[in-house]
Structure 1
Amino acid sequence: MLPPLTLVLGGASSGKSGVAEKLIERSGLDKIYVATSQIWDEETQFRVDRHVAQRGPGWQTIEVPVDVPDALAPCTNGQAVLLDCATLWLTNVMLGDHDLETAQASLLTALAACDAPVVVVSNEVGQGIVPENALARHFREAQGRLNIALAAQADCVLHVLAGLVDVRKGEMP
């Protein structure tokens, strides 16, 4: 049984999306995929296509680069939601010149109010070198703050490294 909010953290290409998809699959609930990625180039399209193929059939996909709270509002307890991913959502918020604090507060409120269990995928970006440019440093700090807030609110936090799952908070769903 999925808890109300699960956070799946890991580095890029660590296997976190696959872990999150399996959690949703095992729930037996209707599968909702909230996609925050925007297709900017062929590489991004390739990654999106790979994720769609990996998920397989039976998912309802909602594409929302920024307005995740609006996508979560109609979800019901007969559904399970995969939000993939908070990192791309944050990128879209920052590059779209949205108010970061307001957007984050709205996201956290929407997650708490959602009737469906939600699994959020997010990148851990703070374990590498300090970025050389100001925008990248600002993003790293904002992503760290977002992950801290998500982890504090989550009932379960999983860390994925090389496809291996470590339970950091709560119990494995």
Structure 2
Amino acid sequence: MAQERGTAARLTLVLGGARSGKSAHAEGLIEALPGPWRYVATAQGYDEEMRARIALHRARRSGPWETVDAPRDLAGALAAVPPGRPVLVDCLTLWLTNAMLAGADLAAETDALVAACAEAAGPLVLVSNEVGLGIVPDNALARRFRDEAGRLHQRLAAVADRVVLMVAGLPLAVKGEGPGAARATGEGR
């Protein structure tokens, strides 16, 4: 994807379904900026399949990437970023899962995350799974997760400069414009 080097929204939220291209797109947005870049990972490799996914993500990144694992304290990881450093967080729905399974106060954690994003001293790209487009889940935990993810996305989209929805590898601008956010009408492609 062609992007203008050195141009970025301060806060970009990249949403999409499984294998929609959201992580690769977000990496491209960050790599269009001068490095070094920080990758804040929320995944935990509890099984072989997840460890393979994590390894695939790491192998895809080249250049001056620094990875910080933050499966739970995402607000703290963002607060620790040096001023001006471009940051990619992948992904918010894994962070939400970790918080829910830990029995965390989701309202307080979300407030802290939104505040940390608002205070970020450099370009910040957040990746998350859009899980609210499918059928209603058949159990209470899954329905709560879907609802909490939707609320989290709404809070972050409200403060984001740019929101991109990835569909079949194509970035669709939902809010804002700029590199990597093609209009849904197909303009700019």
Q: What TM-score, normalized by structure 2, do the two folds share?
A: 0.89
Q: Kindly indicate whether residue 100 of structure 2 is the aligned counterpart of residue 94 of structure 1.
A: yes
Unaligned runs of 5+ in 2: 1-6, 180-189
Tell me which of 144, 160, 163 is aligned to 2:166: 160
Q: How many residues align?
A: 173
Unaligned runs of 5+ in 1: none
Question: Residues 30 and 78 of structure 1 are in contact (CA less than 8 Å); yes or no, is this contact kept in structure 2?
Answer: no
Structure 2 Cα separation of the partners of residues 43 and 59 of structure 1:
23
Q: Which residue of 1 aligns with 2:187?
A: none
Q: Kindly indicate whether residue 12 of structure 2 is the aligned counterpart of residue 6 of structure 1.
A: yes
The percentage of counterpart residues that share the same residue type is 51
Q: Which residue of 1 aligns with 2:66?
A: 60
Residue identity matched to 1:159: L
Q: Deviations over 1:16-42 (max 9, x none)?
A: 000000000001232100000011101
Q: Kindly indicate whether residue 135 of structure 2 is the aligned counterpart of residue 122 of structure 1.
A: no
Give the match's secondary structure for 2:32: helix
Structure 1 Cα separation of the partners of residues 142 and 76 of structure 2:
28
Q: Kindly indicate whether residue 42 of structure 2 is the aligned counterpart of residue 36 of structure 1.
A: yes
Give the match's secondary structure for 1:79: coil
Question: Residues 9 and 178 of structure 2 are in contact (CA less than 8 Å); yes or no, is this contact kept in structure 1?
Answer: no
Q: Deviations over 1:3-23 (max 9, x none)?
A: 210000000111000000000
Higher mean displacement: 67-76 or 15-24? 67-76
Whose Rg is larger? 2
Structure 1 Cα separation of the partners of residues 82 and 163 of structure 2:
22
Structure 2 Cα separation of the partners of residues 101 and 111 of structure 1:
15
Structure 1 Cα separation of the partners of residues 10 and 82 of structure 2:
12
User: What's the CA shift for 1:77?
Assistant: 3.7
